[in-house]
Every structure is written in structure tokens, then in C-alpha cells.
């Protein structure tokens, strides 16, 4: 019924919509705040996301 190119186009369209959503949400924010915002968006969308800073000062995003 649908070929691979159709499915690929659907995924591309979805990816572009998500990219626009994320760009609008984090526009003008610093790095730390962008991470927090992106983690919150994913959490709001039903993913179990935890953002934490490790001992070396690096940020870890855990998606469960």
C-alpha cells in the first residue's frame, strides 16, 4: 500500500516539526537552560527524562 519513500517522507516531516518546536522553545536560552527545556519537553511528551550534572560538571540526560 505505502512504499518506503512514503514512510521516509512521513518521518522527515515529523522530524522537521519537532526541530521547529524545539528551536522555538529554546530560542535565546543558554546551554544549561536549553538542556532543561528540552528535557522538560520530552518529559511532557511522555518520556521519562532525568537531567543531572555529574561530578565532572558534565550534564547527563537519562531517558527511561
Q: Is 4 helix (H, G, I), strand (E, B) or coil?
A: helix
Q: Where are the alpha helices (DSSP H) in the chain?
A: 4-26, 31-44
What's the pLDDT score for residue 2?
A: 74
Per-residue pLDDT of 14-35, as tens digits, reads 999 999 999 999 999 999 899 9
Element (H, E) at 49: strand 49-53
Ramachandran assignment for 55, one of left (phi > 0), alpha (psi -120 to 50 degrees), beta (any other): alpha
What's the pLDDT score for residue 61?
A: 80
- Provide the whole-model pTM: 0.72
| β-pair partners for 53 | 59
Neighbours of 39 (CB within 10 A): 19
Amino acid at each position: 500500500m505505502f512504499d518506503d519513500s512514503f514512510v521516509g517522507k512521513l518521518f522527515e516531516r515529523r522530524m522537521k516539526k519537532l526541530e521547529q518546536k524545539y528551536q522555538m522553545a529554546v530560542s535565546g536560552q543558554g546551554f544549561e537552560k536549553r538542556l532543561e527545556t528540552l528535557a522538560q519537553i520530552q518529559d511532557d511528551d511522555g518520556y521519562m527524562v532525568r537531567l543531572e550534572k555529574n561530578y565532572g560538571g558534565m550534564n547527563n540526560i537519562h531517558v527511561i
